[in-house]
């Protein structure tokens, strides 16, 4: 029981991170209908930026943890959004209006490019940083097993909840959200009605990158190590989460992320840890067989 509770906490933490990345996928898919394969690598870039920022702070003898976290978050969000913008501008915008596969290939190329440029400029070795947040609260001191929620886990879950709320508010209530949803429904019509489609799409990419940046900082704080290859698996998992929840649906992305996180940690805890990715993809296949447009996705109505 205690063990299961601990797995629940771990799974939620993991799921929150997947959810944050998944939103980037789902928003981009919703607005221009492409899989942004480079999104996982944008997340990886943000983790590297976080490592550099933390190291700078350590060198500057900043000891206040809230101050450090805020600084790292702001720096990471700023630069990562710039990356999100640049990737869209160079690799995807010129391909708008061509075949559906063209941006996918250029996204895969971008992903390879980002991975290798980080490997070249930052080195191929794993980067460890000293633990930022240690300890936590003991929730339950059961005989033989202690259930604990770490500060970093709490930080991740709370940040995700806050971000999700803010994000939902932004999409449903603000002018930008309205423009974004308008472009999602019909880009031509939106442009006729005076929505700057290119700017909205750019901004969508920057927002997705900003959320990935938050996830990147969280991963750095939680695991304490970063290497240039983390983007691939995290990206695939997050994309799976987005599809599981129904691609194009924001609550779906969050739900999918949580589910994938929970499945992974429970499967790893009780069954075979080495097959946890098989479980993730297996369940994805099962869900899609029963509900071809994901858990919360609207079935596409096709017109001839």
Site for other proteins in 59-98 (CB under 8 A): 59, 75, 79, 82-83, 86, 90-91, 94-95, 98
* Segment 188 to 207, residues that bind other proteins, using CB under 8 A: 198
Q: Confirm or reject binding of residue 239 to other proteins (CB under 8 A).
A: yes
Q: Per CB under 8 A, does 47 bind other proteins? A: no
Minimum CB–partner distance for residue 132 and other proteins (Å): 13
- The whole-angstrom separation of Cα 30 and Cα 156 is 26
Minimum gap (Å) between residue 117 Cβ and other proteins: 6
Using CB under 8 A as the binding rule, whether residue 300 contacts other proteins is answered as yes
For residue 281, state whether it binds other proteins (rule: CB under 8 A).
yes
- Name the phi and psi angles at 87, rounded to 5: -65, -45
- In whole angstroms, the minimum distance from the beta carbon of 233 to other proteins comes to 9
The residue with tokens 């709320």 is 165
List the beta bridge partners of residue 136.
150
Residues in the chain: 304
277 binds other proteins (CB under 8 A): yes
Distance from C-alpha of 277 to C-alpha of 136, rounded to nearest angstrom: 29
Pick from 173, 171, 170: nearest CA to 184: 171
Q: Which of residues 156-185 bind other proteins (CB under 8 A)?
A: none
Could you say whether residue 229 binds other proteins (CB under 8 A)?
no
Give the distance, in angstroms, between the CA of residue 58 and the centroid of all CA atoms in the same chain.
26
The verdict on 132 binding other proteins (CB under 8 A) reads no
- Based on the shown chain and the rule CB under 8 A, indicate whether residue 284 belongs to the binding site for other proteins: yes
Tell me: does residue 250 bind other proteins (CB under 8 A).
no
In whole angstroms, what is the distance from residue 208 CA to residue 45 CA?
13
**187 Cβ contact partners less than 8 Å away, ≥ 6 residues apart:** 197
């Amino acid at each position: 029981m205690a063990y299961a509770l601990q797995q629940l906490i771990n799974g939620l933490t993991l799921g929150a991170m997947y959810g944050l990345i998944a939103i980037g996928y789902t928003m981009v898919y919703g607005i221009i209908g492409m899989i942004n394969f480079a999104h996982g690598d944008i997340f990886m870039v943000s983790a590297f930026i976080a490592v550099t920022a933390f190291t700078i702070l350590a060198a500057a003898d900043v000891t206040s943890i809230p101050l450090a976290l805020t600084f790292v978050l702001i720096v990471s969000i700023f630069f990562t959004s710039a990356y999100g913008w640049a990737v869209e501008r160079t690799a995807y915008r010129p391909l708008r209006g061509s075949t559906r596969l063209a941006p996918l290939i250029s996204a895969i190329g971008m992903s390879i490019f980002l991975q290798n440029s980080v490997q070249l400029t930052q080195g191929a070795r794993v980067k460890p940083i000293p633990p930022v947040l240690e300890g936590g609260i003991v929730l339950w001191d059961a005989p033989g097993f202690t259930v604990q929620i770490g500060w970093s886990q709490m930080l991740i879950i709370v940040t995700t909840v806050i971000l999700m709320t803010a994000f939902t508010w932004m999409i449903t209530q603000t002018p930008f959200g309205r423009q974004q949803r308008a472009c999602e429904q019909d880009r031509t019509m939106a442009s006729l009605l005076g929505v700057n489609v290119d700017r909205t799409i750019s901004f969508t990419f920057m927002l997705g990158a900003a959320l990935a940046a938050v996830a990147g900082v969280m991963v750095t704080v939680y695991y304490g190590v970063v290497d240039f290859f983390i983007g691939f698996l995290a990206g695939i998992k997050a994309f799976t989460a987005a599809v599981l929840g129904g691609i194009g649906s924001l609550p779906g992305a969050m739900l999918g992320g949580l589910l994938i996180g929970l499945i992974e940690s429970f499967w790893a805890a009780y069954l075979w840890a080495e097959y946890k990715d098989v479980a993730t993809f297996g369940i994805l296949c099962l869900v899609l067989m029963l509900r071809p447009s994901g858990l919360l996705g609207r079935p596409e109505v096709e017109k001839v």
